[in-house]
Structure 1
């Protein structure tokens, strides 16, 4: 009887163990250094994810409201002067302005304290005394936080792009070549945020103090934004259109819809270019044309069809810089992490 009882109990225990193992397989959990890093940063990560979810939901609602307003005014069949009254231009501008600070905020409050906080508090020294290698610790810290940053910025980029999509070709709402649209759609928000976050982490590793790292990261993020603003239009391939029907206003070349004009000049019969203000001090347009043998116009522009290519080209440069900063963190971290 006791043998049967023991056998039954053993079988029950094995059955329970099997059920427990199956449940464990069905419900994977974080363990080791991954669990430790997630627990350390989960408050900030959940906050970012929650804010992103609210912003995305609001943008989805705004797109639905926009399409309803546009449809009520005859969009997309009617001309833009009829349905533009249903567009809240200031709302687009304010939201795009706010999103422009996302990469700076993430770099300062996520990237800069990421390693500097552990180095300053001594947590890094504690981790180094365990069986976890510095490379694995750095990979986990950067990987988890980078994943959260990519998810948040990627979701905002998609949601903002869908909201802006119906009025994309109307420059009076948002110019596609301006930072308000170019930097908030496609891969650009993700690339800018990743670069500032990883750069902030590298700065924190070097300075080893949280507050000063945040200040320096802020300065770097602002410089990155300025450089990006100055170089944005250089990411595209300039298209030139010329005419040979005179220089009067009625024969000025027509550019494609939403094209961004970069430069214009007048050309002579010999092919020499003259600035568009050449005739400003001449007696008349006809006299000027005869004096310089002007036969037409030359206009440099960027079509909106290049927007996606320009974004991916610029993002690839930022991704390469992010990879370089990551390599620097690992190389220095393996040599001197504490």
Structure 2
């Protein structure tokens, strides 16, 4: 990123943190190249394996080494996807810690902000620049990384090498959620930096805040969108939908009242008698099918953006109260 086309405090922010901003800009390029290269190599291995005539299911002694090599490549591709997902999970914490520490708290701790404010730059203008530059870079970088992860996961799904969409490393690396978390942590980092005014402390608190945010959403995510419910008679050939999230299961009485699954244990003694005594006629499953990926993503992203807006508003309020 060049500071030539920028003026005022934005140019100063770019000049001060050019290496961190460059890393954020180069990271998507490296990630896309790595994912594309990994997939092309794996795809080549799949084609080469198909040409050998060997089978993973019906393996002959002559195909033992070939099958092992093929499975190792498939496992390697899954590891690449796992590490990509972990990178996307860690990235919002890094963004928040960077803004909280080096961008905001360090200037307040060292007193260098006074130099900017003494040169006709108001506190509000100063904070706006501190937020605007990282926001632009973060929005562009995380959007590209999310698109690259979605592309790789889609290719892996078609080759039956992918992971389930609701696994944390998959769900958190695709769609709009990564952008929502990154922007929310950027805003939270700015607020924490302004309040604490200590570089290391602000960075640690921001990372802890990110962990709490992730845990909170993991615990309520299944309630962000209405679930579907399937009912069936006990002993029927019902099949749970592929790739769905099991939100809850239990029993239904003849009157439609729900009972927990523990009300009658299938492996317990007197199971049939328990069903009869409690007038149970059906079993039910509450679940999120794969089609709920986008509704869940959009609702969660919306909440994260609202939290980000609140954090930004509080940050400017803190700034005005302390510095006018």
Indicate the TM-score class for this superposition, using the shorter chain for normalisation. Answer: 0.7 to 0.9
Q: Distance in 1 between matches of 2:133 and 2:112?
A: 18
Aligned to 1:323: 309
2 CA distance for matches of 1:337 and 1:51? 36
The equivalent of 1:96 in structure 2 is 85
Aligned residues: 302
Q: CA deviation at 1:103?
A: 1.2
With the length of structure 2 as denominator, give the TM-score of the two structures. Answer: 0.83
Long gaps (5+) in structure 1:
1-27, 75-79
Q: Any conservation in 1 of the 2:248–2:286 contact (CA below 8 Å)?
A: yes
Q: Which among 196, 210, 217 is matched to residue 199 of structure 2?
A: 210
Shift of 1:71: 5.8
Matched, 1:257 2:242: yes
| CA deviation string 1:169-198 (max 9, x = no partner) | 899842212211111111111111111122
Tell which structure's C-alpha radius of gyration is larger: 1
* Residue 269 (str. 1) matches residue 269 (str. 2): no
Shift of the 229–38 alpha-carbon distance from structure 1 to 2, 3 Å rule, reads: same
SS of residue in 1 equivalent to 2:17: helix
Give the match for residue 211 of structure 2: 222
User: In the alignment, which of 37, 40, 49 is matched to residue 25 of structure 2?
Assistant: 49
Cα distance change on mapping 1:169 and 1:331 into 2, 3 Å: farther
Task: Tell me the residue number matched to 1:199.
Answer: 188
Q: Deviations over 1:11-64 (max 9, x none)?
A: xxxxxxxxxxxxxxxxx8222222222211212101221233212211122233
> 3-state SS of the aligned residue for 1:101?
helix
Shift of 1:146: 1.0
What is the aligned partner in structure 2 of residue 130 from structure 1? 119
Determine the structure 2 residue equivalent to 1:153. 142
> Normalization by structure 1: what TM-score?
0.80
> Shift in Å at residue 330 of structure 1?
1.8
Report deviation, 1:200: 1.2
Report the alpha carbon displacement of residue 160 of structure 1 after superposing the two structures with TM: 0.6
Q: Secondary structure at the match of 1:299?
A: strand
Return the alpha-carbon distance in structure 1 between the equivalents of residues 16 and 57 of structure 2.
Answer: 54
Aligned with 2:300 (options 304, 314, 321): 314
Picking from 219, 223, 226, the partner of 1:234 is 223
Map of 2:169 onto structure 1: 180
Residue segments in structure 2 that go unaligned for 5+ positions in a row: 51-55, 59-66
State the secondary structure of the residue aligned to 2:252.
strand
Q: Residues of 2 paired with 1:159 and 1:41: CA distance?
A: 26
With 287-296 and 196-205 compared, the bigger mean Cα shift is at 287-296
- After superposition, the C-alpha distances for 1:259-315 in whole angstroms (9 at most, x for unaligned) are 111222122222233333414475455434433333222111101101011111101
Aligned to 2:13: 37
Deviation by residue 1:42-100 (Cα, 9 ceiling, x = unmatched): 121012212332122111222333444556677xxxxx989995633333223322332
Whether the 8 Å CA contact 2:154–2:162 is kept in 1: the answer is no
CA contact (8 A) 1:114 1:141 kept: yes
Q: For the residues of structure 2 that align with 1:263 and 1:285, how far apart are their CA atoms?
A: 20
Indicate if the aligned counterparts of 1:247 and 1:294 stay in contact, CA closer than 8 A: no
Check 1:66–1:314 CA distance in 2 against 1; reply closer, same or farther (3 A cut): farther
Relative to structure 1, the CA distance from residue 90 to residue 34 in structure 2 (aligned partners, 3 Å threshold; closer, same or farther) is closer
Within 5 Å, which residues of 2 pair with 1:75-86? 85=71
